[in-house]
Structure 1
């Protein structure tokens, strides 16, 4: 899809992929940043709203289950999952980053971290949308696949974070064709406008054997 969906998005729409592509999907209007600091997806990236569909794709070698291996949860964070009354977090209210990578046996795991930048509590639920792009804004590789987990609402107090996993098999082991992205476009669950995050972690698989990138649902903490 030409806009990115992400490793996991919200439960109301469908799934980060057509929601991410990489953790949901990114909707596309243009490639420039808007006044809120978000970046419109470039033409050619996958489109759609990142959603919380649990998905049915089987786990692969690049998949880590939330709360087990891979980036860990930040148990010290006062983020809660009892967020029935809190409104959804919008793209303009969030900051995105790639957390500390956590290598696994033959795979690379990265937490996609969203932080609430406002003075109100809001929630995220499901998979992010995600897509790797080059310097021209063109999407690299197919949309990510969603690992089948049950989404839960994560309540973010001001300044607090939630993370979703992004993983793929190590290209030197899988033999996949690779490219080095300029950025990762991350779309929060149920949103259409993505956030652009500089990608500084080298090559990613874009075609061939074991080239799938996988996303997991959001959970509390920073994954570090």
Structure 2
């Protein structure tokens, strides 16, 4: 995962995929992303969306990765309680499934709190997840 960012009630963290093979590969569309608790139990599934206030891809495209290059997808959330809620659930990591694969990997680190859902955006070239500040 990349650097966690938050502003204006929204939060964002890029999930980075690096080509570790000796030949070019392609990634397209959305990874599967789910939030997990301390026990490694899935507590929320990310909704696939285009962009957000903090960035993220505005369209789905195919990214070609040479050996060693990276692509990333932004994962976002609302970081303040909504409606009558008074608190949020804080995941400790994510289950991430790269696009066009079926194997998930648990990644621990700072992730958006669950105050109003979790979103994932399509992959983009580089490691920013399409974050507007990068």
TM-score bracket, normalised by the shorter chain, equals 0.7 to 0.9
Q: Is the 8 A contact 1:183 1:199 kept in 2?
A: yes
Residue 134 (structure 1) aligned to one of 34, 37, 48: 37
Q: Is the 8 A contact 2:79 2:116 kept in 1?
A: no
Structure 1 residue 172: Cα displacement:
5.0
Structure 2 stretches lacking a partner, 5+ long: 51-57, 129-133
* Alignment of structure 1 residues 36-75 onto 2, 5 Å: none
* Alignment of structure 1 residues 74-89 onto 2, 5 Å: none
1:147 to 2:49 alignment:
yes
Partners of 1:177 and 1:217 in 2: CA distance: 29
Higher relative contact order (CA 8 A, sep 6+): 2
Structure 1 residue 138: Cα displacement:
1.4
Structure 1 stretches lacking a partner, 5+ long: 1-97
Q: Is the 8 A contact 2:81 2:116 kept in 1?
A: no
Residue 162 (structure 1) aligned to one of 49, 68, 71: 71
Residue 116 (structure 1) aligned to one of 12, 16, 19: 19
Over 4 Å off, 4+ runs: 172-177
Partners of 1:183 and 1:108 in 2: CA distance: 14
Say if 1:176 and 1:195 are closer, same or farther in 2 by CA, change over 3 A: farther
Partners of 2:98 and 2:60 in 1: CA distance: 14
Q: 3-state SS of the aligned residue for 2:68?
A: coil
Which TM-score applies when normalising by structure 2? Answer: 0.78
Structure 1 residue 204: Cα displacement:
1.6
Which TM-score applies when normalising by structure 1? Answer: 0.49
Partners of 1:183 and 1:109 in 2: CA distance: 13
1:213 to 2:118 alignment:
yes
Which is greater in Rg? 1
Structure 1 residue 176: Cα displacement:
6.4
Partners of 1:100 and 1:118 in 2: CA distance: 25
